[in-house]
Amino acid sequence: MSLKNKIHFFSSLIPTYYVLRKGFFKKDSIPVLLYHDVTDHFYWSFSRATPELFKRQMKALSKKGYKSVSLDSVFETESKGLFFSLTFDDGFKSILNNVLPVLKEHGFIGSVFIVTAYMGKKSFWDVNIGGIYKTHMNWDDIFKLKDCGWEIGSHSHRHRDLTKISKTEVIDDINKSVTIMEKELGQKPKYFSYPFGRTNREVSEIVKSAGFHAAFTSYPDRNNVIERFAAGRRPVYLFDTSQDVIARVEKSTWKNIPYDIIGRSINFFAGGVGLVKEKLNL
């Protein structure tokens, strides 16, 4: 077998192995998009979008006739229409400045998962090349989103990888987040997003016991199973175009496979941030 044929052969094994392990997507499930930061500021991360790119993506979705729905709708029923849900992890200030006006323009709503220990502060929980930190929204900012119909969920208290700390620490972190959000917002959060998209059975059970209705990872263990406390999303990265985002929400069992393979690879390395944090006791 020639080198070229060997490359083609082994390249074909990747999607085959992926499908056997992760399965095809459920065609009638409501896709949940995941964004983090929407900013023109440069830093070493793919988990962001520029404001101009985000505008084009939302305009493309609106032009195609897509409508955004709440997280409640994601778990209520299978979808026969052009629906999707928008989520934003971390709660950066850019959401208020660069996201909210765009969503208002197209009649879309979103959900944001906040890190309660860093409200109004810099993202010192993060570890990145160059030590570039982003500003989190404060509680007044969150109320502006809430008044626009946004769902406000928890992204933990300190943004630690919950799979790398003790059970006692996980319980304490989650309970602090719930207590603070109930005090500030007047109600307990319904939805949870795992830091770094990482969870395991024990962590998911703790989140469930804390009273959450559901919890989101970045990528599900199985694409064709909607696990309420390990629900998958479809992350959008810096290199994704409007056409890529359309493909991410289209009702197809296979179109998301190449995006998912790339995204899982990126998320694998993102987990190193959590590991470094724990080693440095941040």
- Per-residue pLDDT tens over the stretch 163-202: 999 999 999 999 999 999 999 999 999 999 999 999 999 9
197-228 in b/e form (b: 16+ CB < 10 A) is bbbeeebbebbeebebbbbbbbbbeebeebee
Question: pLDDT at position 27, please?
Answer: 85
Q: Above 60 in pLDDT, residue 95?
A: yes
- Per-residue pLDDT tens over the stretch 125-154: 988 777 789 999 999 999 999 999 999 999
CB-based contact 110:84 (threshold 8 Å): no
Q: Above 70 in pLDDT, residue 216?
A: yes
Instruction: Show Cβ contacts of residue 267 under 8 Å, excluding neighbours closer than 6 positions.
Output: 196, 197, 218, 219, 235
CB-based contact 50:1 (threshold 8 Å): no
pTM of the model: 0.90
Q: Above 80 in pLDDT, residue 277?
A: no
Q: Quote the CA–CA distance of 134 and 271 in Å, as a whole number.
A: 19
Q: Above 90 in pLDDT, residue 242?
A: yes
- Among 9-13, 29-33, 65-69, which stretch is predicted with the lowest mean pLDDT? 9-13
Which band of pLDDT confidence, cut at 50, 70 and 90, is reported for residue 80? confident
Average model confidence (pLDDT) across the chain: 89
Which band of pLDDT confidence, cut at 50, 70 and 90, is reported for residue 270? low
Instruction: Show Cβ contacts of residue 221 under 8 Å, excluding neighbours closer than 6 positions.
Output: 22, 227, 230
Q: Which CATH number applies to 29-275?
A: 3.20.20.370
Query: Any idea where the domains of the chain sit in the sequence?
Result: 29-275
Which band of pLDDT confidence, cut at 50, 70 and 90, is reported for residue 46? confident
SS3 124: coil
Q: Quote the CA–CA distance of 259 and 247 in Å, as a whole number.
A: 9
Q: Above 90 in pLDDT, residue 226?
A: no
Question: pLDDT at position 4, please?
Answer: 53
- Among 6-15, 151-160, 180-189, which stretch is predicted with the lowest mean pLDDT? 6-15
261-278 in b/e form (b: 16+ CB < 10 A) is eebeeebeebbebbeebe
Q: Which residues pair with 191 in a beta bridge?
A: 214
SS3 35: strand
Question: pLDDT at position 9, please?
Answer: 53
158-186 in b/e form (b: 16+ CB < 10 A) is bbbbbbbbeeeebeebbebbbebbeeeee
Beta strand extents in the chain (DSSP E only): 32-35, 37-38, 48-49, 67-68, 83-90, 111-114, 151-154, 191-193, 214-216, 234-235
Among candidate residues 103, 98, 113, 97, the one with its CA nearest the CA of residue 233 = 113
Instruction: Show Cβ contacts of residue 77 under 8 Å, excluding neighbours closer than 6 positions.
Output: none
